[in-house]
Structure 1
Amino acid sequence: MVVLRLLSGSIEIFAAFIMFRLNQVEKALMVNTGLALVGPIILITTTSIGLLGIADKLSVSKLCWIFIGVSCIFIGIVKK
């Protein structure tokens, strides 16, 4: 999980440098749009790794509540 978060942060910093270097709003927007794909992928992957690591310590009802909570987050992100 740590490695994925470090990778995600490094990608964000690298993208900021690219945006600064391009110095055009349209191109910076394209770079930012690419970042919009990276963030959720890292979130899903790290959450999955974490849940798999503690799945044997949690009851089924608690796992269901976690799934419901994550689903609500994604519904909130997708809804306009």
Structure 2
Amino acid sequence: MIHSVLVMGLLRILSGVIELIAAVLILVIHDLKTAMLINAFLAIVGPIILVVTMTAGLIGLAGDLSITKILFIVIGVGFILIGTLS
């Protein structure tokens, strides 16, 4: 379980670093079209990080949760992705 928490934390740090790099690029390049492209890239990366982080957490909790609870969590993450991407 501690391994899962470490992986989740490192993934969130990676996500934050990607966001900071994107912000600096937007400010340095100073072009609206490029800024929109960078922002679109972040819209793709965010849900991917979410799914990978949740997967790491679920793997860590697999022995502690019933299959029904895991299924509800997976469905909830699916709803978040549908809401984000639509």
The answer to whether the superposition gives a TM-score over 0.5 is: yes
Quick check: 1:45 aligned with 2:45?
no
Q: Among 34, 38, 49, which residue is 2:41 paired with? A: 34
Q: 1:74 to 1:29 in 2, by over 3 A?
A: same
Matched, 1:19 2:26: yes
Query: Larger relative contact order (C-alpha < 8 A, sep ≥ 6)?
Result: 2
Unmatched tracts of structure 2, length 5 or more: 1-7
Rounded to whole Å, the distance in 2 between the matches of 1:40 and 1:8 is 10
Using the size of structure 1 for normalisation, the TM-score is 0.89
What's the CA shift for 1:24? 1.2
1:76: how far off?
A: 2.0
Tell me the distance in 2 between the aligned counterparts of 1:32 and 1:40. 13
List gaps (5 residues or longer) in structure 1. none
Report the counterpart of residue 63 of structure 1 in structure 2: 70
